[in-house]
Structure 1
């Protein structure tokens, strides 16, 4: 099956530089087989140790149900407290917060935010402050207003953020939840790369939270401070309560409103060069659709538009539905259960007394009898004539590939469309969108996600981090003797490249002059 046909089935388009990414690894795989396995195992061990345990997920679902039961009756029909974030997407790590969105339709049927969210959140605050199971409550009127909630035993460890009508986040959660079930490598890459991005200051909140953590440590030693809390919300803050005579003064400190404590201009400069964690998730989706061949993830927008177009009611989103994916999608579907599809099939076969060596008719009869069997497990190996090459890249190879892909990515000329599953020419964008250094489409509003990234120098810093990570992985795999990397196609700052060309031209002229004189 040729590349065009495969891409049509997945509803994606492979990027021009996708076929070059893994060549340097493939050429040396046999020489460093042990190192490859060791690196992949270290990644998998990190996932096992840090992913959200089942009991934490259950606790967060219980909290969501409790708050739904408490809040929704005060608003009546048309309102719904939706769960979002990593708890539903299967991308959560230990101790993850619980993100909730209170969705309430306006008279025109839309989920309007402006002029509605603060009013609704104020009412939610008044409702919850009367409840005995609530121990802490805060209405934060930030760019994205939220109510933060702390609960009594047995939910003390659950931090809750409630926003109003930010429904794009719920539709995104729905999309990520289904993608995470299609291939476990998507989950693994999210956990690893988000951690890497925070450690290397590529994701924005790490800067804010680092500074606020330091402020928290400074203030907690002071005798005039009676209460102190660091809230790691969308807009991280430190809330401060003071002793007499300032008991009635409530103080919120965030990274952009702390004049007199530290230099806000410096902080805003740092903030402008960052991604957020959702940007990283979208970059992973694009890479697994268009940056590798064969593709690993299909384009659910194109395959199932009625489920993922973002126009329905948030309360009607079905997270448990079995997507009737084409039967050519084989590898990774079993990761929905945390093990390979073949192993899961063997379990079912054993239960039904069917041997593994099935013919097509016997397999279809098995599926007909086993009504609850997930269609996505129908592997191409059982369907003659529909086989496609399966992408068997390990998680270690894919993480290397991610860094290499975005080191070579042409940010000046290319934009990424998640909805269309492809890259496109940035020249078609309106002038208002061209100021952003990196255009990666937010699937439900069509705008770029890293809106703060407007300086070329800041983009170059991030690309530099990708480049360094690529080299570090090669060193790990190749036992500190990495092969030379062809950097001729790496992304470069046009201004820097122009200067380098001028210097080279000047040097050549000087050499020519010396030769003429000689």
Structure 2
């Protein structure tokens, strides 16, 4: 098995430093070449492509359900403005960025229209405590609690529509990240299915758990985007290079934009199928040198950690993180919590196991990586 993996891995980012046949054909990624070399036949991946399409159709957040959420958010904003009229409600995360499901959490952040200066932790908690009183008095909200975590938040449920919310304050970074992922999702039809499937796989395998020192949902999205950026030709480019002016709009211009409100995005010439890309994703990360390379979506590359001058990766405790994913705006390490080697080895093992499951099956299926396959409709 070790010899087989060494030979298969010879065309990709090597796991071991002594791996052979590494081609530096693309300066924007670690040593690697065709991420689909020696993998199952294209015809077998056609079946996998069909399964992915059905999976997304079955699980993706419907337009009607999003509209249901949106109406609830507008009602929530109306109550918040009774307390502070200058605040606007922004939907963030999966519910808004294009990869949401009908079971996605509904994350809301309230942004001050007039002054977006950061508040202190005590000011945020005081704001949320006062806001809690307004929701209690409104009558149609329940399960209202303040969570004193790293980022304080208010949990509240719209009892009429049966929608729970996590409400934070002044989360401008979350708004900007959400908008960026919206634009990437609009670039190519393959972005959403791949992120959705990989996230669900990671959740199923118990590695989408940043609070346990593993991957965050956002980190997984960035990993998928990086993989799509280093394809030949690219599936998505760096939007920080091609659409920078849109990524740095005034925050109020990003409020709850729907797909038809988004600007035109770059178009790919890559014709690789969803099935091929999914197999290639697991092949790429099964052999990725996580400890040596920094994933940089803003630059569309993986940079060797010895070449960086970013203090988030070159000094302090963050340098000890086994996985290095640069946040495109703040340049911080999205995966800074992966500090235990045991957690890192578990993470890498899951990628290797998924790669093996798809590679050694002559007819690869989503069931190979533990996902239920929706039945084809007649």
Q: TM-score, normalised by structure 1?
A: 0.60
User: 2:322 aligns to what?
Assistant: 437
Aligned mate of 2:123, from 94, 101, 116: 116
Aligned mate of 1:301, from 231, 240, 243: 240
Distance in 2 of aligned mates of 1:425 and 1:16: 8
- Is residue 101–residue 165 contact of structure 1 (8 Å, CA) maintained in 2? yes
Distance in 1 of aligned mates of 2:303 and 2:96: 31
Aligned pairs for 1:210-359 within 5 A: 271-272=212-213, 274-290=214-230, 292-309=231-248, 313-317=250-254, 319=257, 320-325=260-265, 329=267, 331=268
| Higher deviation after alignment, 82-91 or 455-464 | 455-464
Shift of 1:479: 7.1
Shift of 1:393: 1.2
- Which structure has the larger Rg? 1
- Is residue 92–residue 178 contact of structure 2 (8 Å, CA) maintained in 1? yes
Shift of 1:478: 4.6
Shift of 1:455: 2.3
Distance in 2 of aligned mates of 1:116 and 1:285: 36
Structure 1, gaps ≥5 residues long: 1-11, 206-234, 236-270, 332-389, 481-518
| Higher deviation after alignment, 109-118 or 461-470 | 109-118
Give the direction of change, closer, same or farther, for the CA distance of 1:479–1:413 in structure 2 (3 Å limit): closer
- Is residue 17–residue 405 contact of structure 1 (8 Å, CA) maintained in 2? no
Distance in 1 of aligned mates of 2:138 and 2:82: 14
Structure 2 residue 48 is matched with structure 1 residue 39:
yes
User: 1:495 aligns to what?
Assistant: none
Shift of 1:119: 1.4
- Is residue 91–residue 107 contact of structure 2 (8 Å, CA) maintained in 1? yes
Structure 2 residue 105 is matched with structure 1 residue 74:
no
Aligned mate of 1:408, from 287, 311, 314: 287
Distance in 2 of aligned mates of 1:466 and 1:113: 40
Shift of 1:115: 3.0
- Is residue 286–residue 348 contact of structure 2 (8 Å, CA) maintained in 1? yes
Distance in 2 of aligned mates of 1:436 and 1:185: 30
Whose relative contact order is higher, 1 or 2, with alpha carbons under 8 Å and at least 6 apart?
A: 2
Distance in 1 of aligned mates of 2:77 and 2:200: 31
Distance in 2 of aligned mates of 1:168 and 1:459: 27
Q: TM-score, normalised by structure 2?
A: 0.81
Give the direction of change, closer, same or farther, for the CA distance of 1:445–1:115 in structure 2 (3 Å limit): farther
* Count of equivalent residues: 331
User: 2:64 aligns to what?
Assistant: 55
Root mean square deviation, CA, Å:
2.3
Shift of 1:61: 0.4
- Is residue 88–residue 113 contact of structure 2 (8 Å, CA) maintained in 1? no
Aligned pairs for 1:168-247 within 5 A: 168-204=173-209
- Is residue 30–residue 303 contact of structure 2 (8 Å, CA) maintained in 1? no
Structure 2 residue 41 is matched with structure 1 residue 29:
yes
Structure 2, gaps ≥5 residues long: 1-25, 366-378
